[in-house]
Structure 1
Amino acid sequence: MYTLKKSLGQHFLKDENICMKIVESLPVSEGQQVLEVGPGGGAITKYLLQIPGIHFKAIELDTEKVQYLEKTYPEIRGKLLNVSILDAELPFEGQFRLIGNFPYNISTQIMFKVLEWRSSVDVVVGMFQKEVAVRLAAGHGNKDYGILSVLLQAYYHIEYLFDVHENCFNPPPKVKSGVIRLTRLEQPADVASERKFFVLVKTAFGQRRKQLRNPLKGLFDKETLQDPIFSKRAEELTVADFAALSHKMI
């Protein structure tokens, strides 16, 4: 068997119904390229390997789990990348879809990796700590709406799919979990530049309780700052509002 490593945030799924439900949430067709992040003990991997006609790869940092997977599922040999997702190069040429029970300690960093890869990744199905999943899917005007909500929703439609109970895992985490699906938008938000947009959003939410005029005063000229939108707080702005403001930055 294998050991569970707390340092890698390992909590492995043991509920087969949930495993199947996660895999079924990823739309795939013949010839689809699919990357699993953090297969661990293979809870959802074994179902992904059964999908006919797809090109499958998995990224797993833990060498012990790589050896276990290759021994348990011989058909996975040659399809495993023993590297951190955060350091990985693009695993495929062309479009691919991404799925995983993401290690909770790096799940938000994985989403920044998705943003980096967004021209290649059109759909993501992932399990997160529930409060992170809720935050990513939150709309404006919601206290959970934040930096990553805006950055991701500028490029992806995000759906909160279902909760996953702690008892579905070994060992049970101390937090609830949730599964979300990201589908890349055909028309992403019209931003001035990625750099400006990221700086704007991060600066706005850096002082989220204040009117935007205060945290953003260094990014706009005085005349622009007279616009009534700057009397609002960051969480009140839509993704489109942020995108439009990025064009008015100094």
Structure 2
Amino acid sequence: MEKVRAKKHLGQHFLKDLGIAEKIALSVTGHMGVKKVLEIGPGMGVLTDFLLQGDWELFLVDIDKESIAYLHQKYPQLSEHIIDADFLKYDFGKVIEGDYIVAGNFPYNISSQIFFKILEVRNKVPEVVCMLQKEVAQRIASPHGNKEYGILSVLLQAFYDIEYLFTVPPTVFDPPPKVNSGVIRLKRNAVQTLECNEKLFFRVVKQGFSTRRKTLRNALKSMGLSEEMKNDPILDKRAEQLDVPAFISLTNKLELSWKK
């Protein structure tokens, strides 16, 4: 089989270090007893080989036609589980019955979009183990109160417990990226629904970080703050200073102020 060419427009950087691939595969725990794993962007199957050694029912999804052809040749036993599709647009309920874990070396250029898609199906995805740009990985795992903390930190931490596992240097990829990578693990927590209007919560978080250096009073101005709300001390803070419960409280205060 000929090697698959890494395509820049797909953000492909193929992992070539078997030790790191094994370490990522062993980081999948089967949270909540789930035994199905969906690997995003398997490329030539370096991580896939180690996932196959575990007790998982494995599904592969890739948007790259060349990778799909390669994977069908390499893993004929998985032919029914190789999905030629865009992860961001595909309904995996068509082929995967029940819950599934998401794993993979995420393309840098769409890693944030992948997580927004995971948030949409969070009740089907109890665990995520992935490698992505170190800066993004740190941001997702970051606690409130520092500069890395951002929109994805809040939204994902509302529904998942997140661990930063280890850092991966550029030299173990072909072609090597210009930055370090980080591996993180997300495990679904017990929160089924937030104690607030969830659509408004998402909107408040995104708007709060839209001008992250400003206070929330300025950042949320366009949302129509009531006179009472303008004087609330929580608005003296910046978005990065609020943890998930504080954002929930802010969302409830805003909604209540509009009803008065």
TM-score by length of 1: 0.95
Alpha carbons 1:122, 1:184 under 8 Å: kept = yes
2:49 equivalent in structure 1: 46
Query: Could you say what secondary structure the match of 1:145 adopts?
Result: coil
Q: Deviations over 1:106-125 (max 9, x none)?
A: 00100001101101000000
Q: 1:36 aligns with which of 16, 28, 39?
A: 39
Query: Could you say what secondary structure the match of 1:214 adopts?
Result: helix
Could you tell me which amino acid in structure 1 is paired with residue 22 of structure 2? M
Structure 2 vs 1, CA of residues 180 and 31 (structure 1 numbering), >3 Å: closer, same or farther?
closer
CA distance in 2, matches of 1:115, 1:63: 27
CA distance in 1, matches of 2:104, 2:9: 18
2:190 equivalent in structure 1: 186
For the pair 1:132 / 2:126, whether they are aligned, the reply is no
1:80 equivalent in structure 2: 82
CA distance in 1, matches of 2:116, 2:132: 14
Alpha carbons 1:158, 1:182 under 8 Å: kept = yes
Instruction: Calculate percent identity across the aligned residue pairs.
Output: 49
Could you tell me which amino acid in structure 2 is paired with residue 117 of structure 1? V
Query: Could you say what secondary structure the match of 2:137 adopts?
Result: helix
Q: Report the alpha carbon displacement of residue 219 of structure 1 after superposing the two structures with TM.
A: 4.4
Q: 2:211 aligns with which of 207, 210, 213?
A: 207
Q: Deviations over 1:78-130 (max 9, x none)?
A: 11110010111024222111101001110010000110110100000010000
State the superposition RMSD in angstroms.
1.5
CA distance in 2, matches of 1:90, 1:226: 46
For the pair 1:222 / 2:224, whether they are aligned, the reply is no
Structure 2 vs 1, CA of residues 129 and 136 (structure 1 numbering), >3 Å: closer, same or farther?
same
1:244 equivalent in structure 2: 249
CA distance in 1, matches of 2:65, 2:72: 11
For the pair 1:198 / 2:193, whether they are aligned, the reply is no
2:118 equivalent in structure 1: 114
Query: Could you say what secondary structure the match of 1:22 adopts?
Result: helix
Q: Report the alpha carbon displacement of residue 31 of structure 1 after superposing the two structures with TM.
A: 6.6
CA distance in 1, matches of 2:90, 2:19: 30
Could you tell me which amino acid in structure 2 is paired with residue 21 of structure 1? K
Alpha carbons 2:34, 2:101 under 8 Å: kept = no
Q: Report the alpha carbon displacement of residue 48 of structure 1 after superposing the two structures with TM.
A: 1.4
CA distance in 1, matches of 2:34, 2:185: 21
2:236 equivalent in structure 1: 231
Q: Deviations over 1:149-198 (max 9, x none)?
A: 11111111111000011111111111100000011111357342221011
Could you tell me which amino acid in structure 1 is paired with residue 169 of structure 2? H
1:167 equivalent in structure 2: 171
1:59 equivalent in structure 2: 61
Q: Which moved more, 1:70-79 or 1:165-174?
A: 70-79
CA distance in 2, matches of 1:43, 1:20: 9
Could you tell me which amino acid in structure 2 is paired with residue 82 of structure 1? D
Q: Report the alpha carbon displacement of residue 56 of structure 1 after superposing the two structures with TM.
A: 1.4
Alpha carbons 1:166, 1:173 under 8 Å: kept = yes
CA distance in 1, matches of 2:130, 2:117: 13
CA distance in 2, matches of 1:195, 1:28: 30
CA distance in 2, matches of 1:76, 1:219: 53
Query: Could you say what secondary structure the match of 2:178 adopts?
Result: coil
Q: Report the alpha carbon displacement of residue 225 of structure 1 after superposing the two structures with TM.
A: 2.5
TM-score by length of 2: 0.91
